[in-house]
Amino acid sequence: MRSVVMIKQVPDTYGPVELDSLTGLLDRSSGEQVFDETTERALEVALQQKEIHGGEVVVLTMGPAQAIDALRKALAMGADSGVHILDDDLAGSDAARTSEILAAALRRIGFDLALAGDRSTDGQGGVIPAMVAERLGVAQATYLASLSTDGLSLTGERVTESGVQTLRAALPSVVSVTEKIAEPRYPNFRGIMKAKKKPVDVWSVADLRVQGVAPVGSRIGSVAERPARQAGVRIIDDGTAGRQLAQFLSTSGLV
Amino acid sequence: MAAVLVYVEMNEHGPAKSARDLLAFAAGLGEPVAVVVAADSPSRESVAELGSWGAGRVMLTTTPDAGRVLVTPAVDALEAACASAADVAAVLTADTADGREVAARLAVRCGLPYLGDVVNAELRGGDLFVEKSVFGGNYAVESVVSGMAVLAVRAGVNCGSPAPREASVDPLDVGPSVAERTAILDSLPPTGTGGRPGLSEAEVVVSGGRGLGSREQFALVEALADAFGGAVGASRAAVDADYCDPVLQVGQTGATVSPMLYIALGISGATQHKAGMQAAKTIVAINQDAEAPIFDIADFGVVGDVLEVVPQLLNELAAVRR
């Protein structure tokens, strides 16, 4: 079985995230860039599938040169090879364009399972897996908190705000996982040393034979940073805090 | 006036509450048309309800796949609805997991622009101006679309209430699906909410953090939520400590909420949590640590022990209402 894991490098969630006020794009120069933790869990699932069924695990990323760090970490965790889609033309790609590029890369690599995180911690769009499935004409099994496969099909539990659904789909499928699905392993020293010798292919947009420039869907009109919230009243509980709070809520029309 | 197609999710009681907000949002852009995918024809009450929310027309497709096949039956229905309606300004879905995926796939299939996390939209001079909320409301980004677009619209967006209509029901013919199907073998309602409103639709959200100290004491969060008829939320720390069900998590890796009132109990207010709740109208925080960052964004902060302050508050609320 061949699993391809779509991984992403994102700003650390414990630091501030900023938008460029002119382009409306994420400012990736502010704060530390880390391996998106949900995609790390998707990789763990792929590694577990390989342990059960054999086969290989390919990690795929689209991003600037520094995204190689996430690929190397994935290889150190146990992935067999990497593909880095690196092209200046892709900076600031929206979901439609990103899904087009990833779908073209997945078609070229070939897969039984294509895995991703459910929503990245930066853009939080949450639609790339569904868009990729639509483009490739394969089944989607998204927001999975558990997954098992038998080589021909998969079953899993989809957990969303609407509840829990048990899904079944034929392979190949595009899967997205929630952060509850598995704890990612740590790369060990041996893994890190081996990773240095594992192959990483670098592809450009031209290599993928997709159109050079995607049709413009929408353009950014304006970007406004909301004024920061101001701290209001703060009291120290002296036994009457409950009463004072109830009064605040009452005068604010909230009770 | 151009039609605005609204994908209406159905549950066992009828149209989901999200449809009311979406139809009102649609009325600001054109003629609201509800698109319904159901196993059986919806009841007269359901149709009347959609009319009372402003839908003049319901496009209905009945299929055994409704509720049994993931996402794609709705995409197929909306694609057919777009083809059969004469002039469509936009297609709207709820900004939920299902709604976003339906919208995104439709956009790809029909070559239309897709925008999610939408909080406002206006037609000006033939262009559609769409406001998105980014990073938990830290930024408002306005995008401009020439022509039709597919939008996933946030719950609780305030957009008034359109005049009630008498809704007509038109059958919608949907051809065989081009999509590979994912079967839904079994469905369960959300766990852990205990009959309370969902996080994204509640007007009051009471969330608990690590400061609650144990799963037993987390019951205090539920008690306060119930006093407001609100939803229960949690910080990531509380979920990781197994005080409550993971679906309750609010924050960057959980739900994003924008209620009238958000009460944070024993939550320090890490960036990760604030990203999910700082768009709330009013924020109240109770925390033992006077230095907790949550106080920087709270309209009313209490430095104190949640285990003491919350029971005081519950008593006061009971007295106020008596």
What are the residue boundaries of the structural domains of chain A, listed by start? Answer: 2-208
Q: Does B316 touch chain A (CB under 8 A)?
A: yes
Q: Which of A202-216, A224-238, B284-298 has the lowest mean pLDDT?
A: A202-216
A99 in reach of chain B (CB within 8 A): yes
Q: Are B271 and A14 in contact (CB under 8 A)?
A: yes
Residue A17: band (very low, low, confident or very high) from pLDDT cuts 50, 70, 90: low
Selecting from A14, A95, A164 the residue whose C-beta is nearest the C-beta of B104 gives A95
Which member of A219, A232, A244 has the closest CB to residue B143?
A219
Q: For B117, what's the count of Cα atoms within 13 Å in the CB-facing half-sphere?
A: 24
* pLDDT tens profile A183-205: 999 999 999 999 999 999 999 99
DSSP class of residue B273 equals H
For chain B positions 160-179, those within 8 Å of chain A (CB to CB) are 178-179
Cβ pairs bridging A and B (under 8 Å): 260
**8 A C-beta contact, residue A227 and residue A220:** no
How confident is residue A18, by pLDDT bands cut at 50, 70 and 90?
low
The CA distance from B302 to the nearest CA of chain A, in Å, is 5
Among A138, A218, A244, whose Cβ lies nearest the Cβ of B180? Answer: A138
| Chain A residues with beta carbon closer than 8 angstroms to that of B256 | 124
Q: How confident is the model at residue A130 (pLDDT cuts 50, 70, 90)?
A: very high
Residues A102, A132: contact at Cβ < 8 Å? Answer: yes
Average the pLDDT over A18-30 and give the result: 65
- Confidence band (pLDDT; 50, 70, 90) for A10? confident
Inspect the interface and report whether the beta carbons of A231 and B295 lie closer than 8 Å: yes
Note the pTM of the prediction, 2 decimals.
0.85
The set of residues, in sequence order, having a beta carbon less than 8 Å from that of A185 and lying 6+ positions away, is A44, A47, A77, A78
Tokens of B229: 């008829």
Contact A160 B96 (CB under 8 A): yes
* A219, A82 contact by CB (below 8 A): no
Whether the complex's predicted ipTM is more than 0.90 is answered with no
Residue A123, pLDDT > 70, answer: no
Residues A131, B105: C-beta atoms closer than 8 Å: yes
Gap from B57 CA to chain A (nearest CA, Å): 26
Instruction: Report d(CA A214, CA A97) in Å as an integer.
Output: 7
**CA atoms within a 13 Å half-sphere pointing along the CA-CB vector of B11:** 11
Residues of B in contact with A164 (CB under 8 A): 187-188, 190-191
Contact A4, A111 (CB under 8 A): yes
| Placement of tokens 């960036």 in the chain | B271
B184: Cα within 13 Å, side-chain hemisphere = 20
User: What is the distance between the alpha carbons of residues B308 and B289, in angstroms, rounded to a whole number?
Assistant: 14
From CA A240, how far away is CA B309, in angstroms rounded?
A: 8
B142 SS3 class: strand
Contacts of residue A244 in chain B, CB cutoff 8 Å? 302
Cα separation of A94 and B126, whole Å? 23
Query: Is residue B175 scored above 60 in pLDDT?
Result: yes
* Residue found under tokens 């109208």: B281
Tokens 């400012």 label which residue? A27
B51 vs B54: CA distance, rounded Å:
5
- Between CA A28 and CA A179 the distance in angstroms is 23
In the predicted structure, residue B3 carries a pLDDT above the cut 70: yes
B152 DSSP β-pair partners: B93
The answer to whether the CB of A47 falls within 8 A of the CB of A78 is: yes
- Residue from B105, B58, B322 nearest A103 by CA: B105
CA distance A131 to A26: 21
Assigned CATH class of A2-208: alpha beta
- Alpha-carbon distance B182 to B169, whole Å? 29
Alpha-carbon span B241 to A183, nearest angstrom: 15
> CA B173, CA B155: separation in Å to the nearest integer?
29
CB < 8 Å from B in window 122-141 of A = 124-127, 130-131, 133-135, 137-141
What SS3 state is found at A130? helix
Cβ of B311 within 8 Å of Cβ of A242? The answer is: yes
Q: Please list, in sequence order, all residues whose beta carbon lies within 8 angstroms of the beta carbon of residue A120, skipping any fewer than 6 positions away.
A: A8, A10, A36, A38, A39
| B91 in contact with chain A, both atoms CB, cutoff 8 A | no
CB A196 within 8 A of CB A78: no
Q: Does B189 touch chain A (CB under 8 A)?
A: yes
Residue B13 CA neighbour count, 13 Å, CB half? 5
Write the burial class of residue A206 (CB in 10 Å: 0-12 exposed, 13-18 middle, 19+ buried). Answer: exposed
Q: Residue A19's pLDDT band (boundaries 50, 70, 90)?
A: low
Residues 185-244 of A with CB under 8 A from B: 215, 217-226, 228-229, 231-237, 239-244
Contacts of A158 in chain B (CB under 8 A): 70
Q: Which of A89, A98, A84, A66 is nearest to A206 (CA)?
A: A89
How close is the nearest chain A Cα to the Cα of B167, in Å? 27
Mind listing the pLDDT tens digit for each residue in A77-93?
999 999 999 998 888 88
- A83 in Cβ contact with A75 (< 8 Å): no
> What is the enclosing helix (H) or strand (E) of B284?
strand B282-287
Of A131, A19, A225, A160, nearest to B94 by C-alpha is A160
Tell me if B185 and A170 make a contact (CB, 8 A cut-off). no
Q: Assess contact for B180 and A137: CB atoms under 8 A.
A: yes
